[in-house]
């Protein structure tokens, strides 16, 4: 079964610079949740866009056939870490159709806040 699209974008990117509460669940983070419902592994490349310099990437990720992977941008390191407290955006491309949803947990204050939205696709 194939489901989804090969190109996705998340225009809102921001990793809060501090956290409040037990790790790793309550650590402030931003995630791209990838679903690969197909029967082939998905080879995914993420490009990160900034406000004041050229894009960085690709960050390469494999999502196995019939698997989901929730990527924390905080954990991306190659080619370089994604800076905190910095506006960014991302474009996500895959060689098989996938579905992408964007989520952030912000635990900077006493109680955490959450956002989530389906990403843009075309």
C-beta of 60 vs 116, nearer to its own copies: 116
Q: Please tell me whether residue 73 adopts helix, strand or coil conformation.
A: helix
C-beta of 43 vs 108, nearer to its own copies: 108
Q: Give the residue from 23, 21, 30 showing the smallest Cα distance to 81.
A: 30
Residue 114 and residue 120 in contact, taking contact as beta carbons nearer than 8 Å:
no
What residues make contact with its own copies under the rule CB under 8 A?
A: 3-5, 7, 9-14, 16-17, 20-21, 25-26, 31, 33-35, 37, 47, 49-52, 54-55, 66-70, 85, 87-89, 91, 98-122
Structure tokens of 16? 């809060």
Q: To the nearest whole angstrom, how small is the minimum distance from the Cβ of residue 84 to its own copies?
A: 11
The number of residues making up the chain comes to 122
């Amino acid at each position: 079964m194939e489901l989804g699209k090969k190109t996705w974008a998340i225009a809102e990117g921001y990793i809060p610079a501090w956290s409040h509460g037990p790790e790793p669940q309550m650590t402030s983070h931003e995630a791209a949740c990838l679903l690969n419902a197909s029967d082939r592994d998905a080879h995914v490349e993420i490009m990160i866009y900034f406000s004041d310099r050229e894009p960085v990437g690709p960050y390469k990720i494999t999502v196995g056939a019939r698997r989901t992977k929730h990527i924390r941008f905080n954990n991306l390191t190659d080619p370089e870490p994604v800076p905190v407290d910095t506006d960014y955006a991302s474009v996500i491309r895959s060689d098989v159709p996938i579905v992408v949803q964007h989520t952030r947990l912000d635990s900077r204050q006493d109680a955490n806040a959450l956002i989530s939205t389906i990403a843009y696709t075309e």
